[in-house]
Structure 1
Amino acid sequence: MNHAYLILYVADQPRAAAFYRAALACDPRLDVPGMTEFMLPGGAVLGLMPEAGIRRLLGEALPDPAQAAGIPRAELYLPVADPAACHARALAAGARELSPPAVRGWGHVAGYLLDPDGHVLAFACPA
């Protein structure tokens, strides 16, 4: 197996790509209509797919993901060297803070945010 892909459904792909470009401080490895991809720490790939793209795959049998706009549907928990710096960078890029970086009961320093589509984003490191 090469890489694990984590794909978030987004309302506006260019907006989401710009946010993650700034929050992750890296350029996407792929940015074409229908998919933007970023390499993540540890070798996973973050994909950003427009809600319209997944809606075509789901068809009429399942609810439209756009109906959950703003409702947290996923968490992206990223191990990084400096969670506070990454947290601040994401805030500057337009994230909404849920909880500032702090020592958590499981032994990590982690801060929690919401990205522009309402997905939870956490930057963490061992305490």
Structure 2
Amino acid sequence: MPRQRISLVTLGVDDLTRARAFYAALGWTEAEVADGMACFQLLGQALMLFGRADLAKDQGRAGADLGTGALTLAQNFVTREDVDTAFAEALAAGATSLKPPEAVFWGGYSGYYADPDGHVWEVAHNPFWPLAEDGSLTLPQPE
């Protein structure tokens, strides 16, 4: 089995009900898991929401201030218009705009928002990284 993969991303949240409602408002479908957690099936992986204090305890760091760290989660889209739509939907669901989508130095188009718990998401169109029909990304290989 390949080791170069991510199966699950877990975000520590302050209010599980609010976080669950935010991702549901983006149209994400929640899977059933244990009480005190919310899990959303993604393409080939899952996103888990877990109370910050409970996550710190589970990590063996009870009482630690986990914060949100220097991390950006990203979603790539086929067109710039798709990026604009995703950004607007996130704001309507309760996200905070960090940088509206715009043309960027690397030749693409992207913007950033923070979810209600401060986790940073980038929405982007990268013309150099075409997406598969199902939305999955495979990086171009050197020739």
Pairwise TM-score range, normalised by the shorter structure:
0.7 to 0.9
Aligned-partner residue type, residue 98 of structure 1? L
Q: TM-score, normalised by structure 1?
A: 0.79
Which position in structure 1 is the counterpart of 2:75? 78
Kindly tell me the number of residue pairs found equivalent between the two proteins. 121
- The structure with the greater share of residues assigned to strand is 1
How far, CA to CA, are the matches of 1:55 and 1:9 in structure 2? 8
Q: Where does 1:1-127 land on structure 2 (aligned, <5 Å)?
A: 4-23=7-26, 25-30=27-32, 32-40=34-42, 42-59=43-60, 63-65=64-66, 68=67, 73-81=70-78, 82-127=82-127
How far, CA to CA, are the matches of 2:109 and 2:86 in structure 1? 12
Give the 3 Å change call, closer, same or farther, for CA 106–50 of structure 1 in structure 2. Answer: same
Give the 3 Å change call, closer, same or farther, for CA 38–126 of structure 1 in structure 2. Answer: same
Aligned-partner residue type, residue 43 of structure 1? G
CA contact (8 A) 1:110 1:123 kept: yes
The answer to which structure, 1 or 2, has the higher relative contact order (CA under 8 A, 6+ apart) is: 1
CA contact (8 A) 1:77 1:122 kept: yes
- The structure with the greater share of residues assigned to helix is 1
Q: TM-score, normalised by structure 2?
A: 0.72
Give the 3 Å change call, closer, same or farther, for CA 26–61 of structure 1 in structure 2. Answer: closer
Percent same amino acid at aligned positions? 36
Point out 4+ residue stretches in structure 1 off by more than 4 angstroms.
59-62
**Aligned Cα root-mean-square deviation (Å):** 2.4
2:49 is paired with a residue whose SS is: strand
* Structure 1 residue 26 displacement after superposition: 2.2
* Structure 1 residue 111 displacement after superposition: 1.2
How far, CA to CA, are the matches of 1:4 and 1:20 in structure 2? 19
CA contact (8 A) 1:101 1:110 kept: yes
1:106 is paired with a residue whose SS is: coil
